[in-house]
Amino acid sequence: MSSFTLLVTSAPFSQQNAYSAYRFALAAVQSKHTVNGIFFYQSGTLNGSSLQITPSDEFDLYAAWQTLSKEFQVPLMVCVSAASKRGITTADDARDSDNPHFSLASPFESVGLGELAVLINNSDRLIQF
């Protein structure tokens, strides 16, 4: 059995990458491999926006990430600096910058790049999408 870190640097829907990352993560945990964490960086941080409203006849990737995280205890980590400048902010950060809105919520976590280093260090493989 192998352990993986997934690095998602692509926005949802712009390309297939984020969806592929989700399918890979699901396949890995269903096959009894371990996904130590999914790290969202650059435009990939947009996957963490809780303000997404998916048309009812389309695949809801945001809901799928949440279900994956809850069912298989997969941490969803979002780089705080990459996210903040794209409008992906936690309630705490929004309050600190006097912004009335926030868009990042559990199970997505706001973390620093150091968490990516730890994930990679603890995994057999790093896969970027």
Partner 1 sequence: MAMSNFAQDVSVFFIEDGVLQLLLSQDPAAIDAKAYHKTFKALEFYDIENIYVCRQSLEQRGIKSTQLCIEVTLIEHDDLSSLLASQQHVMSF
User: Given the rule CB under 8 A, which residues bind partner 1?
Assistant: 7, 9, 42, 112-114, 116-118, 120-121, 126, 128
Given the complex with partner 1, which of 7 and 83 has the nearer CB atom?
7
Residue 63 has a CB neighbour count (10 Å cut-off) of 11
Kindly name the residue from 7, 11, 76, 79 that is annotated as catalytic: 79
Beta strands in 42-124, from DSSP E residues, in sequence order: 76-79, 108-111
CB of 45 to partner 1, least distance (A): 14
Q: How far is the CB of 37 from partner 1 (least distance, A)?
A: 14
In the bound complex, what is the minimum distance in angstroms from residue 71's beta carbon to partner 1?
27
Contact 18, 127 (CB under 8 A): no
Q: Considering beta carbons, is residue 60 or 115 the nearer one to partner 1? A: 115
Cα angle 84, 45, 27 (rounded to 5 degrees) comes to: 160
The encoded tokens of residue 109 equal 């976590």
Could you confirm whether 125 is annotated as catalytic? no
Neighbours of 20 (CB within 10 A): 15
Nearer to partner 1, 56 or 121 (CB): 121
The residues annotated with a catalytic role in the active site are 79
